[in-house]
Amino acid sequence: MTEKPSFLDPKTSCWVLTNGMAGFETQGIGIAEALGLTPVMKRVAPPAPYRWIAPHGPAAPDADIKAPWPDLLIASGRQSIPYARMIAKASAGRTFTVILQNPKVSPSNFDLVWAPAHDRLNGDNVISSLVSPHRLTRTRLEAEAKAWEARVAHLPHPRVAVLLGGKNAVYEFDEGAAARLGAGLAALARQCGAGLMVTPSRRTGEAQTRLIREALADLPALVWDGTGENPYFGFLGQADAVIVTCDSVNMVGEAAFTGKPVLVVELTGHSPKFRRFLDAIYAAGAARPFVGALESWEYAPLNATHDIAEAIRTRFAQR
């Protein structure tokens, strides 16, 4: 998959403004990098009552949020919204303000808003996509795959990357669920001769990770122990297929960037927005539910990062 870069003038100053949450920062940095920019990171932690009323109300005083204002502001997360409005006003509109995710206030406050399609946000300056932006590129995927080549050389093909999320506000991933998934993965390794590359996340849980590791003992599997270099992108690059838990739109979207079959483990829980997302990515042909077997098919890789960056570049130039 080759796409024309959406670069801005490298002299363009850019801030990525968030509350410091990794998911928000990853999306903002990914967009900035797709524009050929190295952003300045700005993290805000407004005190009460400002944090209670965000995204409404004024921005709390912050010694780090001051002029000179950037040419481009990419903000994400509820706590960032008052600052984005303040910067747009203080810069007399010179700063081009981009919001990632639904700002929960009128999009007309900003120059451009991106929201995932499952949020169903509409507006003249709103763009949407099925998957979220991220920092993964074809070049990085290939480089990470090469970096991990020797460390997974003992694993047979088909190699399957297993991306584990965990409990969140919507889904459960208790020890019972982990044991069932571990048994399913073990059966897959035995029946298909698959080599498994498993990467837990911070939300997976120590007990859950232990149960999956025990289920895969004496099988061709590599389970990351959380130390050293994170193998997440390396495993994606080395994989012939990807199994991913359903609790993270970002993880499912990054898996769908690879163009490899994506099998989604649907956990116990329900959210209308997550349901709309999963149904849409199944309908797009990028993913299917994981029912214990490997499947193989082809689809066009999904890359929202490029599309969002191109929309920013175009509108920035027009303004």
Q: What is the pLDDT of residues 160-212, one digit of tens each?
A: 999 999 999 999 999 999 999 999 999 999 999 999 999 999 899 999 999 99
Average pLDDT over residues 126-152: 95
Tens digits of residue pLDDT in 37-60: 999 999 999 999 999 999 999 999
Q: Are 199 and 235 in contact (CB under 8 A)?
A: yes
Q: CA-CA distance, 302 to 286, in Å (whole number)?
A: 8
Average pLDDT over residues 277-291: 97
The CATH T-level fold of domain 138-289 is Rossmann fold (3.40.50)
Residue 231, preceding peptide bond in cis (omega within 30° of 0): no
Q: Taking 70 as the threshold, does the pLDDT of residue 6 lie above it?
A: no
Instruction: Give the pLDDT confidence score for residue 94 in this predicted structure.
Output: 97
Measured between alpha carbons, how far is residue 190 from residues 2, 184, 185, 243 in Å?
37, 10, 9, 16
Q: What letter would DSSP give residue 70? A: P
pTM summary value = 0.90
Instruction: Give the pLDDT confidence score for residue 23 in this predicted structure.
Output: 86
Measured between alpha carbons, how far is residue 8 from residues 191, 201, 312 in Å?
50, 34, 9
Instruction: Give the pLDDT confidence score for residue 311 in this predicted structure.
Output: 96
Instruction: Give the pLDDT confidence score for residue 171 in this predicted structure.
Output: 97
**Domain 14-130+305-318 belongs in CATH node 3.80.10:** no
Tens digits of residue pLDDT in 226-240: 999 999 999 999 999
Q: Give the strands of the sheet with 287-289, arranged side by side.
A: 221-223, 195-199, 159-163, 241-245, 262-265, 287-289
* CATH fold match for the domains 14-130+305-318 and 138-289: yes
Per-residue pLDDT band at 1 (split at 50, 70, 90)? very low
Q: Are 203 and 167 in contact (CB under 8 A)?
A: yes
Q: Taking 70 as the threshold, does the pLDDT of residue 150 lie above it?
A: yes
Q: Which of 93, 96, 94, 80 is nearest to 32 (CA)?
A: 96
Q: CA-CA distance, 108 to 85, in Å (whole number)?
A: 10
Q: CA-CA distance, 80 to 56, in Å (whole number)?
A: 10
104 Ramachandran zone, left/alpha/beta (phi>0; psi -120 to 50): left
The percent of residues in the chain predicted with pLDDT above 90, rounded, is 96
Q: Taking 80 as the threshold, does the pLDDT of residue 119 lie above it?
A: yes
Q: CA-CA distance, 280 to 241, in Å (whole number)?
A: 20
Q: Are 88 and 63 in contact (CB under 8 A)?
A: no
Instruction: Give the pLDDT confidence score for residue 67 in this predicted structure.
Output: 97
**Residue boundaries of the structural domains of the chain:** 14-130+305-318, 138-289
- The mean predicted confidence, pLDDT, of the chain is 95
Within 10 angstroms of residue 240's Cβ, the number of other Cβ atoms is 15
**Vertex 200 angle, CA 196 and 206, to 5°:** 120
Q: Are 75 and 83 in contact (CB under 8 A)?
A: yes
